[in-house]
Every structure is written in C-alpha cells, then in structure tokens.
Amino acid sequence: MSKVLTHSLFTDFDIDLFKAGKHYRLYEKLGAHLIELDGVKGVYFAVWAPTAHSVSVVGDFNFWTQGEHLLQVRWDSSGIWEGFIPNVEKGATYKYKIQSNNGGIVTEKADPFAFYCEKPPHTASVVWDLDYKWDDSKWMKNREDHNALDKPYSVYEVHLGSWKRHGEDNRFLTYLEFAEDLVAYVKETGFTHVEFMPIMEYPYDPSWGYQLVGYFAPTSRFGNPQEFMVLVDRLHQAGIGVILDWVPSHFPDDAHGLGFFDGSNLFEHPDRKKGYHPDWKSLVFNYGRNEVRSFLISNALFWLQYYHADGLRVDAVASMLYLDYSRNDGEWEPNIYGGRENLDTISFLKEFNEAVYSNFEGVQTIAEESTSFPMVSRPTSIGGLGFGMKWMMGWMHDTLEYFQKDTVYRKYHQNDLTFSSTYAFSENFMLPLSHDEVVYGKKSILGRMPGDEWQKFANLRLLYSYMFTHPGTKLLFMGCEFGQSAEWNFEGSLDWHLNEYPYHDGVRKLITDLNGLYKAEPALYEKQFSPEGFEWINYSDHQNAVISYIRKGVKLKDDVIVVCNFTQVIRENYRIGIPRKGKLKEIFNSDAATYGGSGIKNGAKLAIEAAPYDGRDYSVELTLAPLGVTVFKIV
C-alpha cells in the first residue's frame, strides 16, 4: 500500500491557467501545504517536473529514503506530481528526489515553492505555514497615499547581513532584532521607505542575495518567515514602506536549485545564447515558457500578498531586455525582426507589471535599467513596460564623475550636472546612490570627494543636498547617510563608531534634515516627475560653478529656490533672478555649523528688488556658502 494518498489542490481551471501562463497564485497549489485529509493531518506536496520518470519526497520523516513516498503524476499532461503524506508536521525537512527520463539521472532538489529553507550551507526545504496576525491595518488602509508618485519617496537601501552585526561574535542580527534597531534608526533619520537587498533564500553570501534558490522563502539566516513578517509589520507601524529587491533575471546552477530541475531545461532557456549569463555564470529564465511566467509572476504577487511588501525593485532589467547583453558577435542571435531586443522578456515584463498593479493597490515597481530603452516607466496601455519608476543611472554616473573632480576644474564640466535636465522627465526617475557605487574599488561615496577633510565632507553634504533638491525620488545605500569612509564589506557591520566624530555625525544630521525638508516642502515631490515642477534660473554660470533653479509645487506659494555653489569660494553679493516680488527666506543650508559646515548663511529675510536679472523682472543678492546648497522660499 502506498504511503502517499491521492489528493489534489488543483482544479481543471487551475491547470488551464498554469498551461496558459496566467496562473498568478501558484503558491497556493504547488509546494508543501499543511492540510487535514479525512481527519488525518499531514502535508500535500506538489511539484512541476514534466520530464521526470519518478518523483519521491525524501526527508527527515522517512530517513531520506528514495521511493518511500512516491508522488503521482497528473493525467492532464501538466507535468505536476502530487500527493498527500499523512503525519508530516510543520518543521519537517524535505527535498524532491527526481529520476529523469533523460538517462535515468537522479537528483535531489529543494522545493521551488518552499516557504522556508534550512539555514545555509544546508539546502533542504522546510515544511512551514504562513499564519500571522498583522497589526498594520492603518498603514495598509492609507498605503496608496503614502506610496503615490506625487508623494515623498526617500529610500534607505539595506543589506541585512551587514547593516549591523552582533559585536562580540560578529553574528547576524535576527529579524526580531532588526524590528527594534533598524526600525528605530530609519524612523529617526526620516526615510520614507526601506529597500531590502534580496531576502529570498540564497546559498552564497558573496552574491549579496542576487543568486536565489528559494524564491518563496525569506532567508533563514535571520529567522523564520513569521519573524520577517514582524519586521515588515513594525516598519509599517512606524509609517515606513518596504520595498523588496526581486531577481527574475537569472539564478544559480547549484545542484539543489532550479537548474536542470527535472533532467531538462525546465526553468532556464534551453538555448545557451539565451539561457546563460556570461557575467554572473548563472542561468537565465525562459520568459517565453508559459509555466515559467506563471512561476515568476506568482512569486512577485506572493511577496505583496503574504509579506505586505509595498514595492518590488526589479534587478538587472537591462540584462533581460537585450539579447546581446554582455555577449560578443556570434554569441547571440537577433529576434524575428532582426533587432537585439528580447521580445519574450518585453512581453513578460509588461504582463508582470499589469498583474502587480491590477491585483494590489498602492504598490510600486521600480526598474534597475541602465540603458535608453524607451518608456520603461510608462503604462503598458501606451506601449510602455509598465514600471512605476526607473533608476536614473545616467544622473548617478554623471554626478559622481563631476564630484570627483577638483573644484578648480569644475567650471569646465558644468554640463555634466545640467545635462540631466534634458531627459529628467522622460521617465519617472529614482536617483540612486546604491550599493553598486561603493564596492569593487570604486571607493565609498565620501572617498570619492576631492580636497582636504573639511572639503570632502562639504562636498558630500553638497552632493546629498543637490540630490534631494533634484527632480525624482531618492535612494541612498546604508552607511552613506553618515559618511562611511571605507568601501562596503558584506562580511561585517557598518562602521557605526564613526558617528562619534563630528563630521560624520554632521552628515547624519544633514540627511535627517534633508528627509524632513523633502517631506515638508510639496514643491520637492508634488511634480517630481513633471517638467512643470522644474525651472532653471541660471545653468550657465560656468565660471563660478554655480547653478540655480526653482522646484514648483501645485500652489505658487510652495515653490522653492535652490542655489548650488560647487566651489569652496564664498560668493557674496551673488545675484539671481526671481520670478516675483516679496522677500526671500533661507530655509535650508548645507553649510550650517550643526552639519560641520562653516556657518555662512543669509539674513532672516532678503529684500527682492525690482531689478531685472536672468530674464526675470526681479532679483536678489545672496551670500553663497562654500561647497554649499542653499534653499529659499518667497514669503
């Protein structure tokens, strides 16, 4: 008598949707589910393995014996193997032992739909449930307002393994410890959102989480699924949104992972020119296969449904969009129209975004896309890919290039800064200073700044203040907010002791105040993706390396005027044009003494004169702080 009972959670309609690539909640069917059948408690197992000859569930409940618990393949050619095993309990470890039709190869695979995994380097899946009582109803009810594109969006990017470690033994903090320390810190510094670098289970620490094997399981390095839910819940209770990095672009070829899953190229594209990533030595999903599309879109919706994620930042979109990405001539083939675009990927990304936005209110998808591919953050209804936002990689590259230059040469490169305004509104851009900018010999952001110690910190404050007043949403990698001196090291904690030094503490205070300014001034967010929200005053004063501009809100009274001085020269009696009469009030100055600056500032209120300048009827004389950004309002 078989020890596996015949049972199925699938209906015929489920199978039709799965085959068509339209089943977006496969996690409710595939995987391991604790159920009760005819009064007996146990686990229903289901796995997709269409070319398998046999599939056994092996685990600690049967001494990992092949053939002890054989699943049955469905009759409908779906390739799904399933069955109910009595008396298996929550916490049991298991794998699928798959014998292929391809030469009888036998492999042990982790469950692609497992909710929980053993702690690496162990590789088994763990039977688990997702029961949890959420206490974030207030956030979820108002999430659409918090997360809207015309609201402040200031993101703190976090790698949980290295944000902070336990001091004595350098161990990881737990999700519950993060729920105390991280939540308090993010609330104190004023960020509106946290973005977690991938928390889905991954085998290899140096991948930083970007090579996944457990797409439906938060990594067990820091605790169990419910403990991760506590972290998200506490962030929401503190009024902080949660964005998760999501990696549908590639996956590793680890023996227990998705690669060659049932003895065939099941998840990866069978053509090596499309199914292998030369940079990362990893496998690429087959976006043209319906069942794979269902797997990926189900995975995206899973994190939004069960973990209340407020957004997904999609990694490496450029590598997905182009057939010739990181490939030489002869290593790729054009599409049916002779182009280099991956048509299957384009179709998949559109479907993914449509599924996300139609199933969940108040969420955002964000593309890490580094090319000029058009309409990434435009609706699919008008031909776009459908993302809510796109990383502004051009701004990041040009701005960092400019800031690395000694101030004496900046007058020759002002176009590096002003060029971003020519395309700033072609997409809904997020300005990123991410983890990628502080590794592999690039130095820390502080380490790139020129000059002596005072100038380095002044330049850093200048950079951040320019960033927060530039159109677009913001993202800052952990440690940058207090001027981490060294490059990021994923194997240890951030250098928190630096906050004991005035200059570093000053940067942290500056970021806190910039977050406050961003949230307090509607002109900095209401039209952050519209050309109506930005106007140059003067971008051509190369000689003095000064630029000035207006950020505009819905109401005229909310407009703010921003003046940036990119040299260490104090500029007195510096005149700029003003659009209307009144008085000018300084509301922010990156050179304030509290930040470690020189304290150069303007008087309480400056009289605006009826003296034409910069093509305007009015003007005012200012004092510009060295390496400083000053923000004003007309009162």
Q: Which residues are catalytic?
A: 315, 368
Secondary structure letter of residue 198 according to DSSP: P
As a whole number of Å, the end-to-end CA separation of the chain is 85
Q: Please choose, from the candidates 432, 362, 357, the residue with its C-alpha nearest in 3D space to the C-alpha of residue 390.
A: 432
Q: Which residue has the tokens 């059948």?
A: 37
The contacts of residue 507 (CB under 8 Å, 6+ apart) are 457, 460, 461, 464, 481, 482, 483, 595, 596
| Alpha carbon distance 415, 122 (integer Å) | 53
| Alpha carbon distance 64, 5 (integer Å) | 19
Number of neighbours of residue 263 by Cβ within 10 angstroms: 20
Angle at alpha carbon of residue 112, lines to 110 and 117, rounded to 5°: 55
Secondary structure letter of residue 616 according to DSSP: B
Element (H, E) at 317: helix 317-321
| Alpha carbon distance 533, 553 (integer Å) | 6
Burial of 430 (0-12, 13-18, 19+ CB in 10 A): buried
At residue 320, the 3 state secondary structure works out as helix
- Judge whether 241 and 310 are in contact, CB under 8 Å: yes
Bridge partners for 209 per DSSP: none
Q: Please choose, from the candidates 73, 41, 40, the residue with its C-alpha nearest in 3D space to the C-alpha of residue 56.
A: 73
E strands, 144-196, in order:
154-158, 193-196
Based on its alpha-carbon atoms, the radius of gyration of the chain, rounded to whole angstroms, reads 27
| Alpha carbon distance 386, 436 (integer Å) | 25
| Alpha carbon distance 193, 181 (integer Å) | 15
Q: Please choose, from the candidates 480, 478, 485, the residue with its C-alpha nearest in 3D space to the C-alpha of residue 453.
A: 485
At residue 104, the 3 state secondary structure works out as coil
| Alpha carbon distance 372, 558 (integer Å) | 33
Burial of 67 (0-12, 13-18, 19+ CB in 10 A): exposed
At residue 141, the 3 state secondary structure works out as helix
Element (H, E) at 144: helix 137-146
| Alpha carbon distance 577, 541 (integer Å) | 13
- Side chain identity, residue 376: V
Peptide bond between residue 206 and the one before it cis (omega within 30 degrees of 0): no
| Alpha carbon distance 307, 181 (integer Å) | 20
The contacts of residue 197 (CB under 8 Å, 6+ apart) are 157, 158, 159, 160, 208, 209, 210, 245, 435
**Would you give the distance in Å from CA 627 to the centre of its chain?**
31
Q: Which residue has the tokens 């407020």?
A: 310
